[in-house]
Amino acid sequence: MDNSASLLSDGLDRLGLSVAPEVQARLLAYTSELLRWNEKVSLTAITRPEEVVDKHLLDSLSVVPEVKDAGTLLDLGAGAGLPGIPLAAVLPALRVTLVDAVAKKVAFMKTGAVKAGVADRVRAVHRRAEGAPEVEGLPRADCVIARAFMDTGPFLQLARHYLTEGGRVVVMLGQMPAAEALEAHAAAAGLSLLSARTLALPLSGDPRGVAVFRSP
Q: Is 80 exposed, middle or buried (0-12, 13-18, 19+ CB in 10 A)?
A: buried
* Residue 188 contacts ligand SAH per CB under 6 A: no
DSSP calls for 182-193: HHHHHHHTT-EE
Cβ-Cβ contacts under 8 Å for 55 (sequence gap 6 or more): 46, 201, 204, 206
For residues 134 and 183, give the distance between their C-alpha atoms in angstroms, rounded to a whole number. 28
Q: How far is CA 163 from CA 6, 41, 112, 160, in A?
A: 37, 32, 26, 6
Nearer to ligand SAH, 91 or 159 (CB): 159
For residues 163 and 143, give the distance between their C-alpha atoms in angstroms, rounded to a whole number. 7
**Binds ligand SAH by CB under 6 A, chosen from 54, 66, 100, 142:** 100
Q: Strand pairing partners for 98?
A: 75, 124
Contact indicator for 164, 137 with CB cutoff of 8 Å? no
* Residue 118 contacts ligand SAH per CB under 6 A: no
Q: How many residues bind ligand SAH (CB under 6 A)?
A: 16
Interacting residues with ligand SAH between 128 and 157 (CB under 6 A): 128-129, 147-149
**Binds ligand SAH by CB under 6 A, chosen from 20, 25, 101, 179:** 101
In the complex, the smallest distance separating the C-beta of residue 79 from ligand SAH, rounded to whole angstroms, is 2
Nearer to ligand SAH, 37 or 149 (CB): 149
Nearer to ligand SAH, 128 or 197 (CB): 128
* Residue 93 contacts ligand SAH per CB under 6 A: no
Site string for ligand SAH, 71-90 (x = CB under 6 A): -----xxxxx-x--------
In the complex, the smallest distance separating the C-beta of residue 152 from ligand SAH, rounded to whole angstroms, is 15
192: phi then psi, degrees, rounded to nearest 5: -125, 150
Binding site for ligand SAH (CB under 6 A): 76-80, 82, 99-102, 105, 128-129, 147-149
